[in-house]
Amino acid sequence: MTATPTTKERIVLAYSGGLDTSVAIGWIAEATGAEVIAVAVDVGQGGESLETVRQRALDCGAVEAYVADARDEFAEQYCMPTLKANGLYMDAYPLVSAISRPVIVRHLVAAARQFGASTVSHGCTGKGNDQVRFEVGIQTLGPDLKCIAPVRDLALTRDKAIDYAERNNLPIATTKKNPFSIDQNVWGRAVETGFLEDIWNGPTKDVYDYTDDPAFPPAPDVVTITFDQGVPTALDGRSLSPLQIIEELNRRAGVQGIGRIDIVEDRLVGIKSREIYEAPGAMALMAAHRELENITLEREQARFKKTVDQRWTELVYDGQWFSPLKKNLDAFIDESQKYVSGDIRMELHGGRATVQGRRSDTSLYDFNLATYDTGDAFDQSSARGFIDIFGLSSKVATERDQRVQGLESLDDVAPLSRQD
């Protein structure tokens, strides 16, 4: 599509199709005098079609509507790197929202270039992580672009949004607010606010959508996941795309109640926040990938990769997807996955994804070295010398300690009194 020439300033808005961003179109236009271009990006969040969302944006006053089906892009270029990095923030959260923001940012900047916009807008509040992720990404990919947030910068509150929509007859429902704030995509679902903000309260069943109650599971489901260089390529021998694999495991692991996470999370802005996540496909894939790494990565390589994985995860959580350090860590992680190929057999049942079998042509597991039975190829006579050398530095240090402590104990003994 060719942009229409205009003398007015243009602002690109990250558009979800919901009440807040629908109202934001007119709100921004009135507050700034600029024309608004709505940008909707499908990363597997479900719901309405892109065409429906596009038409609503135009009906709400957008001068242009840019829509993109980015599901495969998201799965291949964002979910798969996260899987290879075993990306679990605080050892629990699989970066559901954090990895969707950079793909949306790419499309926001592309739309700004296409339609001649000078500013990019998003719907985040001033106390969350996403404002950082959006704006750091935008200023990295488009250093000349400005950023505004209607909720944070233009006083667009929920009650004002409902009133504005009703006064202007916008084609959007203004029903009572859902008690939860929800963000979802193909990698998982994030739920917060409402009664969950009291961290003593347990989640009720209406919190969940991607997963069924693990206390009442169907029969166990055994799945074999095939990997090639750290990326899943097939389920049960059927070649599938990354998106198809995530979607199928979301269904199969979801009915088993796998991937429910309840965490008090350290936000980037310095506060702690209670979050509920559902990521059945992601968590099943993580468990399989880690187990395949266990048999294909050399010991010291695996130990160091854990440090790299953690730093990679922190950078992505903090909105640094496009940073130089993250790119450097990508290079290490990609190299480490050269031999992470093979099959993992897992049982999905009752909230757990349990590895039952492993096989790989590039495995470092040697049966003849590992066995204790006849045919053992390990030379046990080498062990004594290895132990002597391995423990030598500690032995020498202990001898030093004993020697020094012995001298110090002599200094502590009071001299005998001399009898005249």
Annotated binding site: 14-22, 93, 123, 125, 129-130, 133, 181, 265, 277
- Longest pairwise C-alpha distance within the chain: 115
- Of 10, 100, 121, 130, the catalytic one is 130
- The verdict on whether 130 is a catalytic residue reads yes
Q: Residue 369 has which token pair? A: 């070295």
With 0-12 / 13-18 / 19 or more C-beta atoms within 10 angstroms meaning exposed / middle / buried, residue 170 is: buried
Binding residues for L-aspartate, by number, are 125, 129-130
Point out the annotated binding site for L-citrulline: 93, 129, 133, 181, 265, 277
Instruction: Check 59, 113, 118, 181 and give the catalytic one.
Output: 181
- Distance, in Å, from the CA atom of 309 to the CA atom of 8, rounded to the nearest integer, reads 46
Name the catalytic one among 101, 189, 274, 352.
Answer: 101
Known catalytic residue: 181?
A: yes
Task: Find out whether 272 and 265 touch, Cβ atoms under 8 Å.
Answer: yes
- Give me the half-sphere count of Cα atoms (radius 13 Å) on the Cβ side of residue 192: 13
* Binding site residue list for ATP: 14-22, 123
Residue of 10, 20, 97, 336 with catalytic role:
20
Residues annotated as part of the active site: 20, 101, 130, 181
